[in-house]
Amino acid sequence: MNLSSLIKQYFSTSENDVTIDVFDEKNIYDVYHRVVSVLTQHLDIETTVLEAMSYCFYEILDNVLTHSGKEIGTVITQYDPTNHILSFLIADDGIGVQASLSENEKYKHISEPEALKICIEDTITDGKGMGFGLFSTSLLNNQAGLLFEVRSGNHAMQVKDGKIATTETEPWQGTIVYMQLQTDKEINPAEVVANRTDVAAQYREAFLDDNELEELW
């Protein structure tokens, strides 16, 4: 995996360094917890954004191990406090979105552009999951996103300013999920998960200790 190429394409390194982590089945939760814990130390990041982002972030990490056919993935993160922008990218060199969805008989003959277009919709899955991770991430993008991209094979699907576009790109063997979030605006985390789970409570349990919870009250 060409990490330097990914950083050049997706991240600005002029002022803020990126953080790179490799994860697998054994350390996925540790990587997830470490990345989000670092972000909680930035008091200027709106808590509601972190509550929703932490849920979507883990779902995308898990997608790599569940759907890519590979045992490891890579995550790159960057926070720009000056502009209040959080960027993260999760990549693998697995079978890609089209091949994954085609394992489901319903999408057996789906094209690559169409696979990228529908993969962010609710309940779209290869049969190994619920099809909710990328859908909830798209809902997060609706509330706080500046850019949301899913790239696989020879195509990329981008959502920006409420508009969805699928274009041909430089080939990528596997899948890349990239997102930029505006972190200084308050959002409704319950809407990001379509009111199916209490992400605020999950975030508090995972990332706020008892003393911090008492201070909140």
Assigned token pair, 83: 């502009």
Q: What is the pLDDT of residue 178?
A: 98
Burial label for 41, CB within 10 Å (0-12, 13-18, 19+), is: exposed
CB 67 within 8 A of CB 89: no
Q: What is the pLDDT of residue 209?
A: 67
pLDDT in tens, 165-185: 999 999 999 999 999 999 999
Tell me: pLDDT of 150 over 90: yes
Q: What is the pLDDT of residue 213?
A: 42
The dotted CATH code for 30-208 is 3.30.565.10
pLDDT tier, 217 (very low <50, low <70, confident <90, very high otherwise): very low
**Cβ-based neighbours of 9, under 8 Å, separated by 6 or more:** none
Tell me: pLDDT of 214 over 90: no
In angstroms, rounded to a whole number, what is the distance separating the alpha carbons of residues 209 and 167? Answer: 45
pLDDT in tens, 67-103: 999 999 999 999 999 999 999 999 999 999 999 999 9
Q: What is the pLDDT of residue 2?
A: 82
Q: Rounded mean pLDDT of 188-215?
A: 83
Tell me: pLDDT of 131 over 80: no
Q: Rounded mean pLDDT of 12-28?
A: 85
CB 106 within 8 A of CB 56: no
- Considering just the CA atoms, what is the radius of gyration of the chain in Å? 17
pTM for the structure as a whole: 0.93
pLDDT tier, 112 (very low <50, low <70, confident <90, very high otherwise): very high
Domains in the chain: boundaries: 30-208
Percentage with pLDDT > 70 across the chain: 94
Tell me: pLDDT of 138 over 80: yes
